[in-house]
Amino acid sequence: MAKKRKRKYSRGAGSDVENEMRRYKRGTAKSGKGGKGGKVKSREQAIAIGLSKAREKGKKVAKKK
């Protein structure tokens, strides 16, 4: 039987990342404060933005390294 693991991120944080990935795939994801920066070029960048947005909302997300 598989061992249960503790969640690193909350489900809500996961949905924020999902939304950001959707925007990235459509080509509408922008970086920077208020989306004033350039276009998001990589998946990693989109995930980081999603996690950052989740942090701002106070959802359970691991601290930045």
Q: Which domain holds residue 59?
A: 9-25+37-65
- Counted domains in the chain: 1
Give pLDDT tens digits for 51-62.
999 999 999 998
Q: Is 54 a member of any domain?
A: yes
Q: Is 48 a member of any domain?
A: yes
Q: Is 51 a member of any domain?
A: yes
Q: Is 61 a member of any domain?
A: yes
Q: Is 1 a member of any domain?
A: no
Q: Is 63 a member of any domain?
A: yes
By CB neighbour count within 10 A (0-12 exposed, 13-18 middle, 19+ buried), where does 34 fall? exposed
Q: Is 65 a member of any domain?
A: yes
Instruction: Tell me the pTM.
Output: 0.80
Give pLDDT tens digits for 2-58.
788 888 889 999 999 999 999 999 999 988 877 788 899 999 999 999 999 999 999
